[in-house]
Amino acid sequence: MAAHRWDPVCPTPRGLVRPVPLDPAGEDGPTKRQASGPHWRRTSQGLYVPASVSDQLPEQRILEQSVRLPRGGAVTGWAACRLWGGSFFDGLGRDGTTRLPVPLALGAGNIRGDRQVRLVREPLTSEEVMRRYGIPCCAVERAVFDAVRLAPDDREAVVVLDMAAAAVLTSVTRMRVYVGAHPRRRRIARARLALALASEHSRSPNETRLRLVWVLDAGLPADVLVNCPVHDKWGRLLGIADLLDPVAGLAVEFDGADHRGAGRHTRDVAKDEAFRDSGLEVARVTGLDLADRPHVVRRLLAAHARATSRPRGTWEARPPASTLDTLLDERDGRDRVHQELNAL
């Protein structure tokens, strides 16, 4: 079954093509003349793939730049997070179109950079380098750590952590341990701030951005519940609130692109009615709204004021259990068993 467009975990990439150098015989690569024609595409200095190979797939673009790595180096940041399965690490800026350079951790080596790559010149141990789809790749915690520190600002650093958790790559606990073990790395303050604001229950970048407007701009309670199931007094599920302030009785819903269809809109209306009938105040925010933070702040504060003026309803919040570390520990255990069996 194909993965949903908004699934935090991306599918396994297929059909990746490794760049090749020029070959005077034209057998293992293009000749110089062929390379200058329409049937080959240059990926970096002296390396080519057939022109039919598109670099729209993030993993293909990562592979094309990874062949430039020096010995002992690895892709890191968003690129490594993508290789580990993080769907929202697509190598595009917040506008959804601007391409981000592929981060390359050089370790003790060095290469010449250009606009296609971002060079990370920091220590890199052999234990931090693994392989995914044949590509040298930083281990998860190092990859997320670099992605957080390379984020364009502090808020996007929080998005990185939230989406790494959504994809079940790592947890806040594991990242806290990793950050604590590397106190002298550059931009460590950003990593610490992101950890303080991260949530393991967010399911999309804009859900995280909305939560940060709630906390940082509107000054509303930081312990707001994320993707929290709400039940009626008989225990029936009314819906899952993107953000829920259980004290005020306010549910805030984010309407992304997947809410535009008639079916999804109908379900949204039904959920809003169920919430309001049980005594919850409901506010909805769209992606376009997020471009105007003051506007969103005014709406959130107004909704919060309405909620606090209403009598307590019949709804009940049932926050999801924090099971991410358990899932990761179980997966690590299975991986160790597989490695031991393969070694026999």
- The model carries a pTM of 0.92
pLDDT of 1 higher than 80: no
pLDDT over 60 at 2, yes or no = no
For the packed helices 172-180 and 324-343, what is the interaxial angle rounded to 10 degrees? 80
Write the pLDDT tens digit of every residue in 306-336. Answer: 999 988 889 999 998 878 999 999 998 988 8
CA 148 – CA 145 distance, rounded (Å): 5
Topology classification of domain 206-317 = Endonuclease; Chain A (3.40.960)
| pLDDT, position 223 | 95
Q: 231, 215 in Cβ contact below 8 A?
A: no
Averaged pLDDT, 64-76: 97
What's residue 343's pLDDT? 72
Spatial separation of the C-alpha atoms in residues 40 and 19, rounded to whole Å: 10
**Closest alpha carbon to 91 in 161, 42, 80:** 80
The answer on pLDDT for 40 being more than 70 is yes
Q: Taking 80 as the threshold, does the pLDDT of residue 264 lie above it? A: no
Give me the residue spans of the domains in the chain. Answer: 53-200, 206-317
Between 341 and 173, the higher pLDDT residue: 173
Model confidence at 267, in pLDDT bands (50, 70, 90)?
Answer: confident
Least confident of 21-25, 120-124, 131-135, 254-258: 254-258
Average pLDDT over the chain, rounded to an integer? 93
Pairwise CA distance, residues 119 & 187, whole Å: 15
pLDDT (tens digit, 9 = 90+) per residue, 138-194? 999 999 999 999 999 999 999 999 999 999 999 999 999 999 999 999 999 999 999
